[in-house]
Structures are given as structure tokens and as C-alpha cells.
Amino acid sequence: MAKKAKVTAIFNNKGGILKSNLTANMAALYAQQGKKVLMIDMDSQANIPQIFGLDADEFNPNNYNVLVEGEHPKRAIVNVFDEMKKEHGEIIEVPTVLKSVDILPSNDDMVMFEFDVLMNKAFHENYFKLLRGAVRELQGIYDYILIDSPPNMGIYAGNILTAADSVLIPFHPETLSKRSLMKTLQAVDKFRVAYNPSLEIIGIAATKVKMNTKSHKKNLKEAYDYAESKGIHMFKSYIPETIKGADAVDEECVPAVLSSVKFSKEMRGLKNAYQGLFEEILALEKEGAKVHG
């Protein structure tokens, strides 16, 4: 059977809740399992290349050229290991596992994405299907394609939800985030009905959690209850609030799970959190394979 990548969007319309970090850490963990992974950066802030210490402005062509100008996506893809060796090879040791991880990069060209799509009459009949076209060109190359999403519910979101097979929704347990979670779930439902009937929600993953605060415990409990009432899985593993993930990015140019720091209890806890969430995701994938197989 020909390879066909599973396409997962890390999606929520709220910013600052570790979407890019979830994407990068999941990519690294899949690569450690021997899988070939592509990360598609749909955010003009280009956080995915930055996690690996790469300058997104150097990548030409990029995702904007693919989606708006018709560039073939294979020409815009960069390999993380190769690019890191060019950028950091004499400064840091680049993990060899990243040979299996590619990026379809974005940069601030994507700021104009919605405007340029709406202004071009040629896109009017398919402006939610631009990313889907690119993904279909790439699915035979990879085992997993992970889409990092911006905090946006417009044409960006439409493209992401139309292209994805499944959605992983990060949730920061602050009071104002509960409304964002509900809006995100509503958006997924609408796009499932209108454009992508096979779209599934993998589950909700709590991020930047402070379990020593009453408000986070309360909001997590409410989120679990809400997810259960909707028949949506909410993961038991959660990503704690910590600066150690940022330290790994700043000092080592890798996501937390690839950090070489060994003697920090906080870093071990963060790596274990990502690993625990990943193992829950793998378990759900196996269950899904049994059901659909």
C-alpha cells in the first residue's frame, strides 16, 4: 500500500498556548519512532523555524509562494537537520533524528495571505482548498504532516481545517480561554459539515498548566466536564507552565524533548509531559486503526 501521511492540525484561535511547541515536539517524537515528518507553518510569525534557530526570511520559496503563487510545495520544503548544520554546525551538536523532519516554512509574507486570496478572483471558488492541494502533493512522501496554525479564524483556519484529517486542540486553562475553546470546537464542527466530513478531533490537550493554582484546577475540571459532555477526548497528560522549554529553544535550538539537559528536575518533568501526551496520542491512533481496519 502506498504511503499516505496522516495530517494533523494543532489548532486553536487563541495565541500563546504552545501550538508551535506542540507541533515541534510531536514532530521530534514521531521522528524518534522512525517516522518521516513534515511540519507546515501557517503562521506569519514563523515560530516553527525559530524553534530550531533558523531564519525564516532566508527561505525562498516558502509557504506563501506555494499557496498564493502556485509554487510546487516540494520546492519550498527544507530539511531541519541540513539547515541546522548550515546555521549551527560549528556551535551546537544537531540531533541526527532531525534528518527525518522537514518544514514547509512561513515568514511575514503570510501577513498578506488572506488579503491576496480575497483580491484574486481566481481563488474565489476554492479559497479554502489551497492548502489541501499542497498537502495532497506531499502525503505520499511522509508518515505524518503536522500543521501549525495561527490565532486566526478566517481563511487561514478554513484552509487548515479543510486540509487536515484530524485536529489536536491545545487549551490553556485560563478563564478567558474557555470561550476560545468552545469557539474552536464550533469552527471544527462547521468545517466538518461544509468541507471536510472525515475531519476528526483527536482531543484537547491542556498547556501551560499551573496545578498549584485553584483557578487552573477549576478551569481544567470544567474543560474535562465540557469535553465529556460533547464526547470529545481530553488527554490526562498536560504540559506544565515552565520557562525550561524556552531555554531549550534559546540555548540548544531544539524542542524540549530533544534537550540535552540531564540534571534539571523541571526539564525532566517537561520532557515527560510531552512524552506522556505523545503516548496517549499513539494509543488513540492504534485504537482508530483497529476500528477503521
Q: What is the pLDDT along the chain (293 residues), one digit of tens a residue?
A: 567 899 999 998 888 888 999 999 999 999 999 999 999 999 988 999 999 999 988 999 999 999 999 999 999 999 999 999 999 877 888 999 999 999 999 988 888 888 888 888 877 778 889 999 999 999 999 999 999 998 877 888 999 999 999 999 999 888 667 778 888 898 899 889 988 999 999 999 999 998 788 888 888 888 888 889 989 999 999 999 887 667 777 778 899 999 887 767 888 899 999 999 999 999 998 876 544 44
pLDDT at 204: 95
- At 122, the amino acid letter reads A
**Cβ-contact 146, 5 below 8 angstroms:** no
Cβ-contact 272, 265 below 8 angstroms: no
What pLDDT, on the 0 to 100 scale, is given for residue 102?
Answer: 98
CA dihedral 158, 277, 242, 172 (to 10 degrees): 40
User: According to the model, what pLDDT value does residue 291 have?
Assistant: 43
Q: Which three cell numbers stand for residue 252?
A: 540548544
- For residue 289, the model assigns a pLDDT of 58
- In the prediction, which pLDDT does 263 show? 65
The pLDDT value recorded for residue 153 is 77
Residue linked to cell 509554487: 71
Q: What is this structure's pTM?
A: 0.94
User: C-alpha angle 279/54/135, rounded to 5°?
Assistant: 60
Q: Are 282 and 274 in contact (CB under 8 A)?
A: no
The grid cell for 229 is 459532555
CA-based R_g, the chain, Å: 18
Residue matched to cell numbers 465529556: 228
| Number of residues that make up the chain | 293
